[in-house]
Every structure is written in C-alpha cells, then in structure tokens.
Amino acid sequence: MKLAELGEFGLIDRIASRVAASPSVPLGIGDDAAALLPTPGTLTLITCDMLLEGVHFDLSFGNPQALGRKSLAVNLSDLAAMGAHPRQFLLGIALPADASMDVVEGFMAGILETAGRYGVTLAGGDTCASKGGMAISITALGEQRPELVAKRSGASPGDLVFVTGTVGDAAVGLRLLQEGARDGYLVSRQLDPQPRVAAGVALAEAGVLTAMIDVSDGVLADLGHICEESGTGATVEAAKLPFSDEYREITQPDPYGLALSGGEDYELLFCARGENRPEIERICRELGLRVSVIGEIAAGSGVRVTGPGGAEYHPPKKGFDHFAPSATPRKS
C-alpha cells in the first residue's frame, strides 16, 4: 500500500493507535494541542532536531526501523546532555505521497521502540506531503530539578575533561556505508546510536559535573562549545582518546583526526573537578559504560590538541558545520 491510499488522517489514526497512555500526557493525539502534566518542582527542557533525506540520511543505507530509532535517539541525547529525564516528544514528518507504507510502518515501529525503551510518550505532531524526500522533525521534552540541570557554561580551569564510550566510530561507519558496507559494529554506530540517558541523569543528580554536552558535531567542536560558553580554553591529549578495537584497526596509522572531528557518536563529553573522578568512574562502571579523561580545561580560549609525543596536533577538520562552505551532506 502507498501512503496516498491510506491518507493523512488514516496515517494519524494508525500512529495514535500504537501510542501507549501516560499520566504525563492527559490529552494527547487527537486534539489541536496536547496537554502535559509536569512533575512538580522540575524545569521542562525542550530540544528539537531535524533529519532531512539526502542530507542526514539515505534510506538505501539502512532499514526504516533503524532510522526511526535514530530520529528519536539524537533528541534524547540532547536531553541526556542536560541531565534530564525524557518525558514526551512531538513528531513532525513530511512524506512523499507515493511513499511505501512498509517504509512508514517500519519508521514508526523504530521510533516507538525507542520511545518505549526510554519511557517517552508521543504526545502529538504534524504530518504533511513532501514533493521531495522524507523530512523528520522531533521536539523532545524532559524534566530535571533546576539545581541539577547540566549546562555548557560551568567549566573552569583545572577541570578534567571526560568522555563516555568511544569516539570516531560513527564517522568511520558513515565512510563504510558510502563505500558499500551495510552491517558491522561501526556501521551500527552510525545508523543506530544509543543515547546515554541513564549516565546523563546519574551524573547530573550526583552533583559531580561542571559542564556537559553530547558529541554530535565532534569532540573538538563540542568541547569548543563548552569553552565558549564557559569563557575558557582546553587541552586534549590525543593519545587518551578512547577507541574501539574496530575503529583502531581501520584508521591506522593516524586514528586521531576522525575521532576529534567526526561527530555523531552521541557520547557525553563533560567536565568535572579532579576530586570527583572516583565517583564518576563508579557511576559509569555501575552502568557498564566506559569513561575516559581526555584533557583539561585551561585559561584562555580555544581547544589545543597534543599528539602522542607531546607536540601540537592539527586535525584536518575541527567538526561539522551545516553552513560552512566546505560542508558536505551527512548521509546516514
């Protein structure tokens, strides 16, 4: 069946029938606006991301279910970077009228799978026809007590710079997809990222952070955002960057460039005082999550990278910028 045969309202009804009820959404899909019930004493944090076919994803690279999972995951990663509990999301989607219902059904199955995994409720959104490719816009809402919200602006000289998991995997995964690969660990890191929600909440609620961000544009670019907001500089030791075995094997002899600039790993990059390192390592260990110290916040501005021998290292790129003249589409 094609989407045109089902129609807009048939699509909305089909989506609504699969959304589980939630006490935080007393009024959801079916009215002109949703009604949300916030948890007393918390702030609502809101984030929005767009994914455009031909820019952010290529349907020939992976299945629609993975695209659905990733579409919500990248928003949940932003909430994780604020230490927020994810609660609800809105979905805006534009689809060609001749889109196969298999694609639509698969996409919705993936997005609702991720919603169920993280306890997030689809509260509403919008659907429309596209004369081009598929376009996805998600607005996600989370909650946290005001004093526990993690921001980018609290880092100060002497703070250690931490990162969860491994970096560079998604960038290599994209390169492999462009070369024809369709499976494997690195490909899955690009097509199906896992937001570090539990870690973001646990670290924020432990009070051990000074600043936090997720790695979406690359370690250098995202650490640069923390430095800009905090009025500091930073030094990163390339030899301390955490790599997966699969990444290290494929990126020799220089594994550092893509790890610093590739982006889309959706790991957490954060700063903390040195005395909090044991508590941070305990929290991550209990979550089964690797965490590494990769550098230090410094006075001044900008991010400096030193190579394994101590000399300054200059990566070929500093991160992704949609509007930079040299930017190339990020298809995944």
Condensed to tens digits (0 to 9), the pLDDT of residues 89-129 reads 999 999 988 888 899 999 999 999 999 999 999 999 998 88
Q: Which pair of tokens denotes residue 318?
A: 């500093």
All CATH 3.90.650.10 domain ranges of the chain, comma separated, are 160-306
For 153, the 3-state DSSP assignment is coil
pLDDT digits (tens, 9 = 90+) for 254-288: 999 999 998 899 999 999 999 999 999 999 999 99
All CATH 3.30.1330.10 domain ranges of the chain, comma separated, are 3-148
Which CATH homologous superfamily contains domain 3-148?
Answer: PurM-like, N-terminal domain (3.30.1330.10)
User: Whose CA is closest to 168, among 266, 259, 260, 261?
Assistant: 259
pLDDT digits (tens, 9 = 90+) for 201-213: 999 999 999 999 9
Cis peptide leading into 253, omega within 30 of 0?
yes
pLDDT, residue 265, reads 97
From residue 252, alpha-carbon distances to 181, 218, 313 in Å are 19, 19, 16
pLDDT at 324 over 60: no
Instruction: Tell me which amino acid residue 194 is.
Output: Q
Instruction: Determine phi and psi for 319, rounding to 5 degrees.
Output: 140, 175
CATH number attached to the domain at 160-306: 3.90.650.10
